[in-house]
């Protein structure tokens, strides 16, 4: 079946929905999502959204800009960061007008809380910059934007899995989807396609990410000849519940919680004397793992304690209710009285599909624009987070660049007609599916996935070195051979989750290779990328963005310069 829309948006997280709201007044907009829209990972965001409103204490966008650039270890493009932080207050008021129920100060202003790496006066001390709705911020913003989409008649293709992008010559002209409920393939034709498919945390065994975060959109772009930018930068959040990896939001430390080792020491005082437990995430994650390596994990095991017991029941119930209930449900302990066992957990990918500040996808280091293709949100790399993202800057990124992509698509479609697609455009995808059903291989999807996830924890997580990265790449390539032999057990046409998982596994494999390959070639330590064999930042050689291209011979690497406007790189101490 072929259906035409002006704009097709893949992904119903905050980036996709914000873009849809922006362009629906002048275009026929469809949103495709593999999960029900309000189950997108954005709904799991607990902590908040940053903006220098200054409601609780003095704040300025220039300070927000400095913190974000420093947090990025000077790899963020400063022109893009400036656009984002200057737009932030407007974003918050807009959400308020749309109906988001933010938490309030006693005098009725939007309340703000501390988050790691956000400071006053260029690094002097922590500042309250994150606006929040208790610890359910993502949930309420996602529901509000979904309501706005329904109100403006955005068309939803819910539980539809995008299998491939379709091109008319060089222009992206639509997507092919697998409709889970019917098992039918649909060709959705569009004048502009936006990828807003979120992150790829599910490549790692220990992760805070939902099951859908398998990097589909990032890999669909890569397969279509788009390079991937800065994929070596994978964020590990310091406080995942041990041993599950489920997130305990940084809001817990923002509200005054702190970390302790086996000896009861507040060890962050040694690693970040100025801001302590509120240092940037890469710094805190490395500190936790260093303590564990030195035998100072609790009971000599792989975790430390996050202590909230001094906050009191009332504050925990009011501000951290959801976090506390997670801890009670999953671990059976009460954070009002007991410290929480935590370990770093894979949380966010700073890299992704390269775009300009209006979501247009870039095809090379010269900035050539890909026709008809846009990207926004976690799958995109603008780049505002550089080598390490600060907490609560992601929701801001989604809303600022989601909106800008919507505006840019509205403009772009006024100048183009629909391409000439026929049923032939479906054929390649049909063949791919037929092949999957016909292979009588012995390999199991779950087994290969588990091997990737363990391998990536071992070779490509917080600490890396040349030997491990090289071995990791070899092992991934061998798993790629195994992947060719996976056999379908479930032959049903409708609700075939196995088909979906097989496609996701292909994405996970290929992205793992890109992550390890990018990491191998960056022979320095910067932000979330830490090389034991090259422990210092080397601006002279590596103050540049990685671009990895897919070629028949395997990944190929090139680089492009970082945009520096106001802040020259300095030593990064917290
Ligand atoms: C537990 C947790 C807490 C967080 N807390 C915060 C916070 O407090 N503040 C903050 O700033 N950031 C936070 N983050 C980060 C932030 O939530 C994410 O970066 C952000 O939500 C990503 O949004 P997105 O719109 O890019 O994609 P997502 O919300 O991940 O949505 C992706 C969408 O793409 C669709 N999709 C993917 N692949 C396909 C396909 N093949 N076919 C069809 N549809 C597809 C999915 O169905 C989904 O609708 C948190 C992240 C996690 C995991």
Please give the distance, rounded to the nearest whole angstrom, from the Cα atom of residue 8 to the centre of ligand 1: 18
Task: Looking at the CA of residue 217, tell me the nearest atom of ligand 1.
Answer: 38
User: Mean pLDDT over all residues of the chain?
Assistant: 96
What is the pLDDT, as a whole number, of residue 461?
97
Is residue 91 in contact with ligand 1, taking CB distance under 6 Å?
Answer: no
Q: What percent of the chain has pLDDT over 70?
A: 100
Is residue 237 in contact with ligand 1, taking CB distance under 6 Å?
Answer: no
The pLDDT-based confidence of 386 (bands split at 50, 70, 90) is very high
Checking DSSP bridges between strand 125-131 and strand 463-464, what pairing results, if any?
unpaired
Nearest-angstrom CA–CA distance, 334 and 311: 13
Is residue 180 in contact with ligand 1, taking CB distance under 6 Å?
Answer: no
Checking DSSP bridges between strand 369-375 and strand 192-195, what pairing results, if any?
parallel
Tokens describing residue 87: 């737009």
Tokens describing residue 243: 């041993």
Contact 367, 247 (CB under 8 A): no
The pLDDT-based confidence of 421 (bands split at 50, 70, 90) is confident
Q: Which residues contact 393 (CB under 8 A, 6 or more apart)?
A: 50, 68, 71, 84, 384, 385
* Residue whose CA is at the smallest distance from ligand 1 atom 21: 42
Please give the distance, rounded to the nearest whole angstrom, from the Cα atom of residue 343 to the centre of ligand 1: 22
Residue 441 has pLDDT above 90, yes or no: no
Is residue 13 in contact with ligand 1, taking CB distance under 6 Å?
Answer: yes
Cα dihedral 482, 229, 499, 428 sign: negative
User: What is the reported pTM?
Assistant: 0.97
Catalytic residue among 281, 360, 526, 531: 281
The pLDDT-based confidence of 439 (bands split at 50, 70, 90) is confident
Is residue 157 in contact with ligand 1, taking CB distance under 6 Å?
Answer: no
What is the pLDDT, as a whole number, of residue 440?
81
Angle, helix 78-98 to helix 61-71, in steps of 10 degrees? 120
The reply to whether 281 belongs to the active site is yes
pLDDT digits (tens, 9 = 90+) for 296-353: 999 989 999 999 999 999 999 988 888 899 899 999 999 999 999 999 999 999 999 9
Q: Which of 32, 41, 221, 330 to mutate to test the pocket of ligand 1 (most atoms within 8 A of CB)?
A: 41
Tokens describing residue 544: 């540049």
Please give the distance, rounded to the nearest whole angstrom, from the Cα atom of residue 15 to the centre of ligand 1: 8
The pLDDT-based confidence of 106 (bands split at 50, 70, 90) is very high
Nearest-angstrom CA–CA distance, 114 and 277: 11
Nearest-angstrom CA–CA distance, 21 and 455: 40
Cα dist. 57→222, 389, 407 in Å? 44, 23, 34
Instruction: Convert 155-202 into a string of H (helix), E (strand) and C (coil).
Output: EEEECEEEEEEEEECCEEEEEEEEECCCCCEEEEECCEEEECCCCCHH
Q: Which of 180, 198, 241, 280 to mutate to test the pocket of ligand 1 (most atoms within 8 A of CB)?
A: 198
Cα dist. 496→36, 179, 181 in Å? 16, 10, 9
Tokens describing residue 79: 């022109």
* Residue whose CA is at the smallest distance from ligand 1 atom 2: 45
What is the pLDDT, as a whole number, of residue 51?
98
Q: Which residues contact 439 (CB under 8 A, 6 or more apart)?
A: 484, 485, 486, 487, 488
């Amino acid at each position: 079946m072929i259906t035409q829309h002006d704009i097709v948006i893949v992904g119903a997280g905050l980036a996709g929905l914000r873009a849809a709201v922006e362009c629906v007044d002048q275009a026929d907009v469809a949103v495709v999502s593999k999960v029900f829209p309000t189950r997108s990972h954005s709904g799991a965001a607990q902590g908040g959204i940053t903006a220098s409103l200054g409601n609780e204490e003095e704040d300025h966008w220039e300070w927000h800009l400095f913190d974000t650039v420093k947090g990025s270890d000077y790899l963020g493009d400063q022109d893009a960061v400036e656009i984002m932080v200057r737009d932030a207050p407007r974003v918050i008021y807009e959400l308020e007008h749309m109906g988001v129920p933010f938490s309030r100060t006693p005098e009725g202003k939007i309340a703000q809380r501390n988050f790691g790496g956000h400071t006053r006066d260029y690094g002097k001390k922590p500042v309250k910059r994150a606006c929040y709705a208790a610890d359910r911020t993502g949930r309420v913003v996602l529901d509000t934007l979904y309501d706005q989409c329904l109100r403006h008649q955005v068309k939803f293709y819910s539980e539809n899995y995008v299998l491939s992008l379709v091109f008319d010559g060089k222009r992206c002209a639509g997507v092919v989807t697998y409709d889970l409920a019917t098992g039918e393939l649909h060709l959705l034709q569009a004048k502009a396609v936006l990828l807003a498919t979120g992150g790829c945390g599910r490549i790692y065994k220990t992760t805070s990410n939902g099951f859908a975060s398998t990097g589909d959109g990032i890999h669909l772009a890569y397969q279509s000849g788009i390079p991937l930018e800065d994929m070596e930068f994978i964020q590990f959040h310091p406080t995942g519940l041990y041993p599950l990896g489920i997130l305990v939001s940084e809001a817990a430390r923002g509200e005054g919680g702190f970390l302790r080792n086996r000896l009861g020491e507040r060890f962050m005082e040694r690693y970040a004397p100025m801001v302590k437990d509120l240092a940037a995430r890469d710094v805190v994650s490395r500190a936790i793992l260093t303590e564990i390596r030195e035998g100072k994990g609790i009971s000599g095991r792989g975790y430390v304690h996050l202590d909230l017991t001094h906050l009191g029941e009332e504050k925990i119930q009011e501000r951290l209710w959801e976090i506390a209930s997670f801890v009670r449900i999953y671990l059976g302990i009460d954070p009002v009285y007991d410290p929480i066992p935590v370990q770093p957990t894979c949380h966010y990918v700073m890299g992704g599909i390269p775009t300009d500040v209006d979501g247009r996808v870039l095809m090379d280091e010269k900035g050539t624009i890909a026709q008809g293709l846009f990207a926004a949100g976690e799958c995109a790399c603008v780049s505002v987070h550089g080598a390490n993202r600060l907490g609560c800057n992601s929701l801001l990124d989604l809303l600022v660049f989601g909106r800008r992509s919507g505006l840019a698509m509205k403009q772009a479609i006024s100048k183009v007609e629909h391409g000439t697609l026929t049923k032939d455009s479906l054929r390649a995808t049909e063949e791919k599916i037929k092949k999957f059903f016909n292979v009588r291989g012995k390999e199991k999807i779950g087994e290969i996935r588990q091997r990737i996830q363990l391998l990536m924890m071992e070779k490509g997580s917080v600490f890396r070195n040349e030997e491990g990265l090289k071995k990791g790449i070899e092992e991934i390539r061998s798993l790629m051979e195994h992947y060719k032999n996976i056999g379908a057990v479930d032959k049903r046409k409708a609700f075939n989750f196995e088909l979906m998982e097989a496609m996701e596994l292909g994405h996970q494999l290929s992205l793992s290779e890109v992550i390890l390959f990018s990491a191998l070639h960056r022979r320095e330590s910067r932000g979330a990328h830490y090389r034991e064999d090259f422990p210092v930042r080397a601006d002279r050689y590596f103050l540049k963005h990685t671009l990895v291209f897919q070629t028949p011979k395997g990944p190929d690497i090139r680089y492009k310069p970082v945009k520096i406007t106001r802040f020259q790189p300095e030593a990064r101490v917290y």
